[in-house]
Amino acid sequence: MSVVDQAPRFASPVDQRMWSERIPAPWWIFGLILLLLPIVANDFWLFQVLGWTFILGMIGLSLMFLAGYGGMVSLLQMSIAGMAGYMVAILGPSGAANVSLGLSWWIVLPAAFLIAALFATISGALAVRTDGIYTIMITLAIAAAFFYFTRQNYSVFNGYSGFNLVLPPKLFGVNWRDPLPFYYLSLGCAVLCYGAVVYLARAPFGLALQGVRDNPRRMAALGFNVTAHRVAAYALASVFASTGGILLVWQNAQIAPGTIGVSSAIDVLVVAVVGGMRRPLGPFIGAFIYVLLQVFSTDILGFFGFAADRFKLIIGIGFLAIVLFSPDGVLGLWDRWRAGVAARKAATTGGGA
């Protein structure tokens, strides 16, 4: 896949600085803006735009982890997110009281993560025996199969109608579906997932995953079980996808087969590619662009006299442009722009000296 050809660079596993010293100043400012944003942003921005961005970003992040570090392009991540979301609806309380078990959240949440991880592990075990386009095909096939299964199975997945009134638990007396708490909840989860991926990339597992991507045969000759490592990456990535999936169900207060359809599976790929798969920040940027386009497509398209449901056209054109002009996504454009500025600056100072 050309989209992941330019791999993220390894970094030394040993860095003696404190974690807080390793975060550059612009990040602190960016973080502060995100924290204080509710002062100026309205509920629509907090809940619909940014909440959804963080959710989609986390699901995209799980793909970035597999594709960017592991070289495995999986179209399965939306299904894994959906599995976690479905489990929350099935095991916990929902409007479909005849199907949902109504268990309490402290059983439901760990169970949702575990079942989604199991699903990811089994699917991963099937997918890792293939390479490149075949990985995409097999994961797409599993995603499609899961979609049709949820649509036709009524005893567990409640078929076509799915589940409504799936609400987050009122922990600490907070209604987590109110825009402000939901914003902080999804922001917190996104930051945790992002931090986890950044951290893991330089832990032995993450380093080895990148080694497996670059030279699997050599990794085997160093004692690594390449297949096991890849499957474990699927299991690990499922945690990020599941977090996004559970939040998605809470945000929409419902889940139905449409949530995990093939087009949603492809949207995750689009999000990760548009943002850039070389770094964990990419999917969040891609998600933000995607959400903005989707939310404001009515206005934009209406302005040009198109129907609002043509927003996929804009996404598609944007995707094409990115793949053609910047295979490493928007982040790649940004990197090149910064390199250009640095080069010009060096040229100016060099000329002045």
Binding site for another protein (CB under 8 A): 7, 9-10, 12-14, 16, 199-200, 202-205, 207-208, 210-211, 214-215, 217-226, 229, 232, 236
Which tokens go with 33?
Answer: 């803006």
In the bound state with another protein, the residue whose beta carbon lies nearer, of 210 and 242, is: 210
Q: How far is the CB of 243 from another protein (least distance, A)?
A: 16
The three-state (H, E, C) secondary structure of 186-240, written as one string: HHHHHHHHHHHHHHHCCCHHHHHHHHHHHCHHHHHCCCCCHHHHHHHHHHHHHHH
Q: How far is the CB of 269 from another protein (least distance, A)?
A: 24
In the bound state with another protein, the residue whose beta carbon lies nearer, of 39 and 222, is: 222
In the bound state with another protein, the residue whose beta carbon lies nearer, of 89 and 277, is: 277
State the Cα angle at 269 between 316 and 117, rounded to 5°: 155
Q: How far is the CB of 224 from another protein (least distance, A)?
A: 5
In the bound state with another protein, the residue whose beta carbon lies nearer, of 222 and 353, is: 222
Buried b (16+ CB within 10 A) or exposed e, 273-283: bbbbbbbbbbb
Class of residue 73 by CB neighbours under 10 A (exposed 0-12, middle 13-18, buried 19+)? buried
Q: How far is the CB of 21 from another protein (least distance, A)?
A: 15
Q: How far is the CB of 217 from another protein (least distance, A)?
A: 7
Q: How far is the CB of 13 from another protein (least distance, A)?
A: 5
Residue pair 193/199 in contact (Cβ under 8 Å)? The answer is no
| Whole-angstrom distance, CA of residue 138 vs CA of residue 59 | 19
In the bound state with another protein, the residue whose beta carbon lies nearer, of 39 and 221, is: 221
Strand partners, 255: 163
Residue pair 274/184 in contact (Cβ under 8 Å)? The answer is no
CA dihedral angle for residue 330, residue 332, residue 338, residue 342, rounded to 10 degrees: -170
Q: How far is the CB of 16 from another protein (least distance, A)?
A: 6
In the bound state with another protein, the residue whose beta carbon lies nearer, of 104 and 225, is: 225
In the bound state with another protein, the residue whose beta carbon lies nearer, of 212 and 289, is: 212
| Whole-angstrom distance, CA of residue 248 vs CA of residue 242 | 9
